Chain A
Amino acid sequence: MEHGTLIILITLAVGAYMAWNIGANDVANAMGTSVGSKAISLRNAMIWAAIANFCGAFLIGPRVSETIRGKIVDPTLFTGSDINLFVIGMLAALLASAIWIHIATYLGWPVSTSHAVVGAVFGFGLVVKGVHAIHWKVIFNIVLSWIISPVFGGILSALIFIAILRLILFAKSPILSAKRWIPLIIGITTAILLLSLFYKGLESLKLEIKPYQTFTIAICGAIIAYFLGVLWMRAIKLEDEKSSRQQRFKVVEGIFARMQIVSALYVAFAHGANDVANAIGPAAAVVQVSQSGFIDVHAPVARWLLVFGGLFIGLGTCTWGYKVIKTVGEKITGISPSRGFAAEFSTATTVLICSQLGLPISTTHTIVGAVVGVGLVRGMRVNLGVIRRVLESWLYTIPFSAILTVVIYYIVKAIIL
């Protein structure tokens, strides 16, 4: 394939743009609230978010990338000279998603890069190779995960917040209860975090972890986190206990504002794990085929591609994301740190589990689900119109990116072949 190098370069350029875009726009979802509550400075938020995103992309990223690369459309149908069609198709999918995301960002629509990429690859497979080329079971699972992830995120965040309410905020002396229960909350959340992180092993580091090992890690981590929490709580003075209720709530929310930094990083990590695939998935297919000349579904996603994707996501956060983080931080006043913590923690857990299962879902939609979940426990003002907009964004993202992919596919094919 004489155009091989050129195609790889174009692919990388578009992939870099996508990754940049993902880093620039979505990371703010995670860090904005913590910056808003002044728990962390803008500069530190940006740096840490970029690092967490990169780690997520590198460590867990391959799973979703593999889904997008070889599990939506059956690559084995592309044999002989058809290999070129596969490469062009993947490139077209990447281009179409990038264009759509660019338009949507410009117009301020809540579209998901995951939906765009899945729609694009799906459209290309359907038009080029027909109904049989699509792995309908995978598509079914993905669509199901799109519905389940916001709902699950919502239920989980509601449960966490109810626990916080009953244990701490309902108490006669909220600070005293916080001192007692927060170490336990920290311990349990650490266990969940470690479980969702390790239960499938870390492919990129060639680290296989057996279930019992995962449990051991989770339990040890939880115990360590618990004692760190106990130490932290010792530093919280009780003297405010005599002050007005309002003042005491402020102290408790201050504690949650700090915990929110961790939950926000967790979101950034999970986000990197899931969304890097949107930029790297199609690129991985193009690179693999162009380099080897045949389609190998089982070849691992090139590590340098993951680093590449992770770096551009980080770059997006640092070059543009900080602006978005700042706006979000200034505008979100409707969510208290305790509620923010519940929403973020459940979002990150949901997204990370889906990433481990190789399901490309939308982080933004999961956050919306989690926020609504906390809002349903009362004490928060949620604009339900957003749910409608999220559903609308599904309806137009998938057909649009699918059709655009097909158009680009035929244009590129006409030029190259």
Chain B
Amino acid sequence: MRSILKIFAKSPLGPMNEHMTKVKECVDKIPLIFDALYQGDQDKVKQIAKDIYALEHEADVIKTDIRDNIPRNILLPMNKRDFLNILSTQDSIADTAEDVGVLLTIRHMTVPEEMHPLLDEFLVSVMKVVNLAMKVVSQLGDLEETAFGGEEAREVLKMVDELGVTEWESDKRQYKLSQKLFELEGKESPVAIFMWTYIILALARIANQSEKLGKQIRGNLST
């Protein structure tokens, strides 16, 4: 009798959501760390970078736990490789958030006045992409219920499309911000411009990886 119980594998979606929540916590620190930077509060910047570092580690622990606990011969409602890929994409978002924290602390950074408005716009758009991606991932439970098909799948498909558009908008903002940055050539130190290039790229990577999450889930929909 006990044996028939073994036929029902535990859903990996619970831990997956837990991981996603952790990743979200990491990314949510990004606007805060920039606020601190605007205020020139270096201690606070360092503190938030540390927080991100700690959260990223927690997310890593959950990720490893999920990977270790997926048995080989289990039939998941979605392709197992896709499932693990989604997990690793989620994880890479946390990694990149950590990178931003590192980039803002290895050198004493200040935000050039001219960049303020464009940087703000860019940050808002990146956060919008991340939030939307997280919303898509949170649909996995309902998708499981409907076997990844039907109206639910169509709704998720719409969200994924929207995600693509949002990411494209954040790309445009990134372009404008970078243009502005290079206009500062000669005015700001070359090292500062070099660092900002990296910071902008890291932020853009967060948006890209979020979009990738949506694509990976889309591949599993059966509409």
Contact = CB atoms under 8 A, between A and B. Distances in A.
Interface of A: 25-26, 28-29, 105, 108-110, 165-166, 169-172, 245-246, 249, 253, 324, 327-328, 331-336, 364, 367-368, 371-372, 375-386, 388-389
B149 A170 contact: yes
A77 to B, nearest CB: 38
A108 B4 CA distance: 10
A335 B9 CA distance: 10
Interface in B148-189: 148-152, 155
A26 B1 contact: yes
Contact of A385 (B73, B147, B150, B152): B73
- Secondary structure at the A interface, as helix, strand, loop or mixed, is helix
User: Which of under 10, 10 to 19, 20 to 34, or 35 or more describes the interface residues of B?
Assistant: 20 to 34
Contacts, number: 122
A109 to B, nearest CB: 6
Contacts of A384: 73-75
B78 A386 contact: no
Contact of B3 (A109, A165, A334, A380): A109
Contacts of B107: none
Given A29-B4, A246-B141, A334-B9, A378 B147 contact: yes
A229 B197 CA distance: 66
A324 B78 contact: no
Nearest to B148: A378
Contact of B146 (A109, A170, A328): A170
Given A165-B146, A170-B146, A333 B8 contact: yes
A170 B1 CA distance: 34
Interface in B119-148: 141-148
Given A383-B73, A389-B3, 7 more contacts: A108-B2, A334-B8, A371-B8, A378-B148, A381-B10, A385-B6, A386-B3
Contacts of A381: 8-12, 74-77
A328 B5 contact: yes
Contacts of A253: 145
B4 A376 contact: no
Contacts of B106: none
B147 A382 contact: no
Contacts of A386: 3-4, 6-7
Nearest to A388: B73
Nearest to B155: A245
Q: Which one of B1, B76, B143 has the greatest number of beta carbons of chain A within 10 Å? A: B1
Nearest to A162: B147
A335 B8 contact: yes
Nearest to A245: B142
A157 B2 CA distance: 22
B151 A383 contact: no
Contact of B74 (A166, A333, A383): A383
A378 B7 CA distance: 15
Q: Which one of A28, A376, A383, A385 has the greatest number of beta carbons of chain B within 10 Å? A: A383
B8 A368 contact: no
B198 to A, nearest CB: 41
* Top 9 A-B pairs, shortest CB-CB distance: A170-B150, A334-B8, A379-B147, A110-B3, A381-B9, A382-B75, A386-B7, A378-B147, A108-B2
B148 A371 contact: no
Q: Which one of B11, B144, B146 has the greatest number of beta carbons of chain A within 10 Å? A: B146
A165 B149 contact: yes
B222 interface: yes
B146 A169 contact: yes
